[in-house]
Every structure is written in structure tokens, then in C-alpha cells.
Amino acid sequence: MKDINKKDDFVRIFDTTLRDGEQSPGNTMNIQEKLRVARQLEILGVDIIEAGFPIASQGDFDAVKKIAETVKDCEIAGLARANDKDIDRAWEAIQNAAAPRIHTFISTSEIHLKHQLRKSEDEVLQLAIDAVKRAKKYTANVEFSAMDATRSNRDYLCKVLAAAIDAGATTINVPDTVGYTVPKEFGDLIRYVVENVPNIDKAIISVHCHNDLGLAVANSLAAIENGVRQVECTLNGIGERAGNASLEEIVMTLRTRKDLMNTDTRINTEKIYPSSRLITSITGVAVQPNKAVVGANAFAHESGIHQDGLLKEKITYEIMTPESVGMNKSSLVLGKHSGSHAFRKRVEELGFSLSDEELQKTFKSFKDLADKKKEVFDEDIEALIAEEVLRAPDVYKFLNMSVMSGSVAIPAATVEMEVNGEVTKDVCTGDGPVDAAFKAITKLTGTKSKLLKYIVNSITGGTDAQGEVTVRLEEDGMVVVGQGAHMDIIMASVLAYVNALNRLEHAKKKSVKGIYH
């Protein structure tokens, strides 16, 4: 095998949580939320942040621009199809970044050429060359992706990749767009690329795997073993359909099995869990409890034999420590006598980086909560921060509510809100207090979404626990999730509903659909 990528032998982490991840149902974020995630990705130490797809909508453009102007320690990539307009727009958004990268792509599989692009191989080859050359006029840092590479003719794929490198691409990406390949086949394909693209030593090879068959991480690792030195992945594995390769799983496999993999990343692994929690807090989309590395049960040992072994020596059943991924459980429980220093310390231990103003705001809510609740747990603090700081409202802001309900009264709710900057108030009756409150909100906002799901959970144990409500709404085929937490279940429901409506408004603004995966 050719001797490639020897100079700086580490795997670059190209995080696409804010692009491929954000475009998947339930994971939309507004500009403030995206900016917060980007800052966290910088703390996590990813090498490249794919901040979005600037031509897709004004909102995407603004978010990419803001991230490019704010984040200084990562490369910032903007996605562009292989045409002038997309590339110019991407550059406009990222030009102020400390290290901008244009990421341009076009499909190379016969299936996509015939049924989607309706172009010949020669035409697509030329478009790829032209796109890279156009991007190159703006920046030396250009990535080219051959979409649906795993279903492409290998020789044609190699021809396009070689031409893209000749045109100036410094990273060439081999995506498994539809999650079709398996590790052995994908490893072989990468080796084929290494051996049959004559100028391959002039570019970093990247992969981008989707998880339709649950193999995205395994496929990415097989690619690394065959010379790949950039992986595209997302926190919690969020992304189109079954998602993208999960960042935390790739990173921790490379770290834990460095002996076998002979390479590593530059990720600060102890920032993994807080980063994962941040995505969950913002989007309201929870990770499954048994999810590797970041799931609630990832380090929980239930069986007696395992517990016995662990008590004697951790290495018996623990291949990595919870601390190494930043999952530090505190024995310290906060209460109404806890001061701002203890609160700040705990917030930092939980991995949040809040401004002084944000800390003050959450400390006040913490005090209010501690007055009502004897013990305030980590989960309560996370919920407070999500409610007060992380979930940024767009057009709808909840202000006040009063409800009437009981065994004889007709349930009624009076809700006051700010809609597009204007304060407005209305009262509605309903089948129950939540129904009445939702009806009032629907009337005030003039929205017409359908409520698909309404779930109530208690954040911790006990009757004084905060309630956490998740709602799922649908409108014109768009599905969003909203979350709210409060000691009063009806309040939590209203917060979740308003949160979902804001997400829906944001999702509606995304205009270009169905053109990327």
C-alpha cells in the first residue's frame, strides 16, 4: 500500500452536527443555539466545523457567517453544490473565518447521474473540476465530496477524485451517502482509491458514513485502517434518516484501542459528555439509554458479578472510565442554602460555559426552585439551564398563564404571549387545562400544526420533582420536537409547546429541501 498521510498522523474530526445533523427531523436549531453548539465544538477540540449550507436559506447563511466570525480555533466549512452560485454564497458566509474551507460536492453514482442529475459522466466530471477551481479562487482549503461514492463505479470515482485533486482539492471525501456499504467492502474501496488515484498523496482522504444499516462507525474505522485521516461525524450520531457516524464512538474507539488502530484524534475526550448533553438539551431529542459512550447506562453496571469485579478492580469490566468522557457524577446535592459559588462550580463541572449574565439568570431560577424543592440535582440544573439559556426563542415568547380546572369546573386557560414583538392575551376552554392552554396558544399564534405526541416525565424522583414535557408537532410534513421543564406540569407543557412552535417557524424558513443527505 502507498505510504500516505504519514506526516501528521492523526485523524481529523470534521463535525457536521450543525449541517447534516441539524437538517434531520427534530434537530433544527436557531442561530443562537447553533452558535452555542459551535463554541462547544471548539472546546471539544474538533478540527473542522461544518457550520451549515449557506445557500439553503437566509437563516443558514446568517448562522454560518456568525459562527465563522466567532470561532477561532477550528476550521469552518460551508457546504456548496458544484455550481458557481452555491460556491460564491458559501464563501460569502465563511470568508471571515480564521481558517475557512469550502466543501463542494456532486454525485458520482450511475443511479444519481441517471435519475437525479440527468447528466453524463463527462458532464459531472467537468462540473466537479469547475467547482473546485471556482472554490480555489477564494481559498486554498477546498474539500471535494463524491456523493454516493459507495454505489459508484470505482474507476469513474477514482477519475473524478484525481481530477478534483488536480483542480486543487486538498481533502477528498468518499461518502457512504445512503449507508449501504459494510466495513470490509468500504476498507477495500478506500484501498482502491489509495492505489488508483495517482495524486492521492496531495490530499487528505475523508469519509462520511450514514447509519442506515447501523454500520456508520464500523465503516469509518475500516476506512481509517486503510489510510483515511478525516472522518465526518456528528454528536450523538444525529443526521439524515438513521443518522451519521457518531463522533463520540469513533473518538473513544481510537483512544481506547490506540494499541490496535495506531492513530488518534485531537479531541478533548472529557468534553464529550457535556457536548452530547448540550445537543440533547437544545433539541430535546434524547439519546437512547444504552447508547455507547454517552447513554445514561453506558457506565452503569447492574449484574452482581460485574459489580463484584468492579469493586475489586475497575479494569475487570470497565474499558474506559466515565471521567474520561466527562461523565462525572457529583455527590454534592445543592439546596436553598447553596451560594452562587457552589452553583457556578457545579455548572462548570457539568460542562456548561455560561457568561456572567447567564449565570446570574440561572442562579436566580435555581434559588426559586430550591425554595420549592428540598434537593436540587444535576438533572434539575441541566433543565434550568436549557430552559433559561440554551433554548432561544424566535418569534413566540411565553409570558404568563393562569388556569382553572377541577372536578366540576370547565377547564380554562388564560395565556399571555409575545408574538413577533407584540404582547397579546386570550382565554380558551378545553378538555383539560393542558388542552385549554394549547388552544389559547394556537389562537394567539395563529398556527395550524398537529400535535403528534405529548410525553410527561419527571426529571428526578419524588412528588416535588420537576416535570419535563416533550411535544412533537407536525405541519406540512415538517416534524419538530419541543421541550419544557417546570415544577408545574401545565407550565412545563406550555413551555414545551411554545418551544416546538418556535422550532417549526425556524424549520419553515429553511427553503432548499431534498438536495443533500
Q: Does 517 bind Zn ion (CB under 5 A)?
A: yes
Using CB under 6 A as the binding criterion, the count of chain residues that bind ligand KIV stands at: 11
Least Å from the CB of residue 250 to ligand KIV: 16
Out of 12, 65, 208, 373, the only residue in the binding site for ligand KIV (CB under 6 A) is: 208
- CA torsion, points 263, 46, 208, 230, in degrees to nearest 10? -40
Q: 320 is written with which cell numbers?
A: 474506559
Sketch the per residue contact string, 93 through 112, with ligand KIV: x for CB under 6 A, - otherwise.
------------x-------
Out of 128, 147, 350, 436, the only residue in the binding site for ligand KIV (CB under 6 A) is: 147
**Element containing residue 274 per DSSP (H, E):** helix 272-283
The sheet with strand 450-458 has its strands ordered as 450-458, 467-475, 478-486
Residue type at 495 in one-letter notation: L
Point out which span in 12-20, 80-88, 89-97, 286-294 binds Zn ion (CB under 5 A): 12-20
> Percent helix, strand, coil in the chain (nearest 5)?
45, 20, 35
Out of 27, 109, 150, 177, the only residue in the binding site for ligand KIV (CB under 6 A) is: 177
Q: Which does 34 bind (CB under 5 to 8 A by kind): ligand KIV, Zn ion, none?
A: none
- DSSP of 371-382: HH-S-B-HHHHH
SS (H, E, C) 478-517: EEEEEEEEECCHHHHHHHHHHHHHHHHHHHHCCCCCCCCC
Residues in 301-330 at the binding interface with ligand KIV, rule: CB under 6 A = none
Least Å from the CB of residue 19 to Zn ion: 8
Provide the 8-state DSSP code for 244: B
Residues in 270-289 at the binding interface with ligand KIV, rule: CB under 6 A = none
Least Å from the CB of residue 474 to ligand KIV: 25
**Under a CB-based contact definition with an 8 Å cutoff, are residues 54 and 89 in contact?**
yes
Least Å from the CB of residue 133 to Zn ion: 24
Point out which span in 172-180, 259-267, 275-283, 379-387 binds ligand KIV (CB under 6 A): 172-180
Out of 52, 78, 175, 430, the only residue in the binding site for ligand KIV (CB under 6 A) is: 175
Q: Which does 384 bind (CB under 5 to 8 A by kind): Zn ion, ligand KIV, none?
A: none
> Positive or negative, the Cα torsion across 115, 238, 478, 278?
negative
Q: 19 is written with which cell numbers?
A: 449541517
Least Å from the CB of residue 121 to ligand KIV: 18
Point out which span in 118-126, 169-177, 219-227, 403-411 binds ligand KIV (CB under 6 A): 169-177
Nearer to ligand KIV, 209 or 384 (CB): 209
Nearer to ligand KIV, 186 or 273 (CB): 186
Rg (CA), the chain: 24
Sketch the per residue contact string, 12 through 31, with ligand KIV: x for CB under 6 A, - otherwise.
--------x-----------
Least Å from the CB of residue 53 to ligand KIV: 8
Least Å from the CB of residue 92 to Zn ion: 23
> Positive or negative, the Cα torsion across 333, 337, 340, 342?
negative
Per DSSP bridges, beta strands 100-107 and 142-147 are parallel
Out of 23, 27, 145, 265, the only residue in the binding site for ligand KIV (CB under 6 A) is: 145
Q: Which does 15 bind (CB under 5 to 8 A by kind): Zn ion, ligand KIV, none?
A: none
Nearer to ligand KIV, 173 or 253 (CB): 173
- CA torsion, points 51, 55, 57, 62, in degrees to nearest 10? 50
Least Å from the CB of residue 240 to ligand KIV: 7
Q: Quote the Cα angle for 240-18-125, to 5°.
A: 65
Nearer to ligand KIV, 158 or 471 (CB): 158
Q: Give φ, ψ of 454 to 5 degrees.
A: -140, 115
Q: Which residues are registered as beta bridge partners of 474?
A: 450, 479
d(C-alpha 416, C-alpha 425), whole Å: 4
d(C-alpha 298, C-alpha 87), whole Å: 42
Per DSSP bridges, beta strands 100-107 and 75-81 are parallel
Out of 15, 20, 86, 468, the only residue in the binding site for Zn ion (CB under 5 A) is: 20
Q: 507 is written with which cell numbers?
A: 424549520
Q: Which does 271 bind (CB under 5 to 8 A by kind): ligand KIV, Zn ion, none?
A: none
Within 10 angstroms of residue 464's Cβ, the number of other Cβ atoms is 13
Q: Which does 145 bind (CB under 5 to 8 A by kind): Zn ion, ligand KIV, none?
A: ligand KIV
Q: 509 is written with which cell numbers?
A: 424558513
Least Å from the CB of residue 205 to ligand KIV: 14
Using CB under 5 A as the binding criterion, the count of chain residues that bind Zn ion stands at: 2
Q: Does 75 bind Zn ion (CB under 5 A)?
A: no
Q: Which does 105 bind (CB under 5 to 8 A by kind): Zn ion, ligand KIV, none?
A: ligand KIV
Least Å from the CB of residue 116 to ligand KIV: 12
Instruction: Establish how many alpha carbons lie within 13 A of residue 333's alpha carbon, considering only the half-sphere containing its beta carbon.
Output: 8
**Interface with ligand KIV by CB under 6 A: which residues?**
20, 105, 145, 147, 173, 175, 177, 208, 210, 516-517
**Interface with Zn ion by CB under 5 A: which residues?**
20, 517
